[in-house]
Structure 1
Amino acid sequence: MRAVDTATAAEPRRLSPQRRREQLTRAALRLFAARPPELVSVDDVARAAGVSRALLYRYFASMHELRMAGLRIVVDEVIAATTPPDEGPLLDQVRYALNAFLGSAQAYASAYVALLRTGSVIATAETDELVDSVRRHIVAMVAQRLGLTGPPAPMLELTMRGWFSVVEAASVEWLRTGGLPREQLESWLIDQLVAMLATTARHDPATAAALAEAVR
């Protein structure tokens, strides 16, 4: 007797369009977590979701459209997860966000590496915008925790974007090689941020004042 996939069997055969679209997107995401998105085919997703190719194409005109739907979910989840509680010291809040970011990158390792890999076949202007929305969120979060009511000063924004570039590059290498324990990577990245902020504060009075207020 043929075994039945319980995840598929648990789904009602008739779903609302919104639930069906979400089911297909989540099926794709499970596959993207295991291998690069460019290696996942329509047949793979249809099989994982327990539906026909024809049904999948009713909701997504192409694999590109399906990939983008999945990546939008990932980005939304990353932004939600990396928003720390309002209370607590600045570095504790950044540590909270960094821990959540690395957890998300680990959960969707293949898709994450493919997104940030130079020359990736899935990288487009749309994916670049999605990735940059996470960067903007991190910069805005730190600026808010520093008590800034407007956009951060140019040097502070440059510092935060530079630090997050280090986070991205280090996390991609960490996912590919596993050379460091995650706790050590997190600690090293926080120390990098402290060093970069201290350097910026020596050059930018606005950053120095914001940091002095944040650590009171």
Structure 2
Amino acid sequence: MSRPRRMTPQARRADLIASALDLFGSRAPELVTVDDIIAHAGVSRPLFYRYFRSLRELQVQALRTVTDGLVDGLATLEEGPPEVRVRAAVRGLIDVVAHYRAGYVALLRSGSVIATSETDAAIDEVRNRAVTLILESLGIAEPSALVLLTLRCWTAVVEGALLSWLQEGTVPREELDGWLVDQLTAMLATTKARER
């Protein structure tokens, strides 16, 4: 890919992050070195350090880019009944996860040496946004403790399903969003029956 020789500082920083995310596609983030990134981006080592104080800073920022994409994917709700709105949001998540495949796997993989309190907080932000979106789409202003627990459990189901889908690819993409929404519907129905 041909890159312009001169970039704005914002564009150069974004290009270095994109290079890191590209490299995460072929190896674990903790195995990607500064030399790998500068070779991929076609820049010098001093230029790299002009934008990032350390490799770790770049790794965290790259993973933050993934979580920002996930939050953006959940930013808007489509019009229509709750199931349509939630399904569209899940489809948006799947799109972002597919785009940032390696970064998403690195972000959620347990034991990653580049996980930090900052990346953990970013993941929590995505989870909280997902719960808020579902409550908004269902018109629930004051959820019960069991409903909140159900929604938080469902976000864990989504994360696990997306990780498995990325790594194994055994479920067709066009079936994934409907299946995940069906899971949510079943979980909420169980909760509703319990609360009667």
What is the TM-score when the length of structure 1 is the normalising length? 0.82
CA displacement 1:68-97 (0-9 Å, x = unmatched): 212222222221122343411111111111
Match of 1:161 among 152, 169, 173: 152
The number of aligned residues is: 196
* Farther-moved stretch of structure 1 (196-205 vs 38-47): 196-205
- Asked whether 1:144 is paired with 2:136, we answer yes
Deviation, structure 1 residue 167: 0.9
Match of 1:43 among 11, 32, 35: 35
Answer whether contact 1:68 1:127 (CA < 8 A) is retained. Answer: yes
Answer whether contact 2:24 2:32 (CA < 8 A) is retained. Answer: yes
Match of 2:13 in 1: 21
SS at match of 1:83: coil
Match of 2:112 among 112, 116, 120: 120
Question: What is the 5 A alignment of 1:51-200?
Answer: 51-149=43-141, 152-200=143-191
Amino acid at match of 2:119: T
Deviation, structure 1 residue 65: 0.6
SS at match of 1:159: helix
Answer whether contact 2:73 2:89 (CA < 8 A) is retained. Answer: yes
Amino acid at match of 1:199: T
CA displacement 1:181-206 (0-9 Å, x = unmatched): 1222322211111100101112336x
Answer whether contact 1:36 1:111 (CA < 8 A) is retained. Answer: no
Gaps of 5+ in 1: 206-216
Q: Distance in 2 between matches of 1:107 and 1:73?
A: 11
Deviation, structure 1 residue 165: 0.4
Gaps of 5+ in 2: none
How high is the sequence identity, in percent, across the aligned residues? 46
What is the TM-score when the length of structure 2 is the normalising length? 0.90
Q: Distance in 1 between matches of 2:102 and 2:21?
A: 10
Answer whether contact 2:131 2:151 (CA < 8 A) is retained. Answer: yes
Question: Which of structure 1's runs of 4+ aligned residues deviate more than 6 A?
Answer: none
Answer whether contact 2:77 2:89 (CA < 8 A) is retained. Answer: no
Amino acid at match of 1:192: Q
Answer whether contact 2:63 2:107 (CA < 8 A) is retained. Answer: no
Higher CA-based Rg: 1
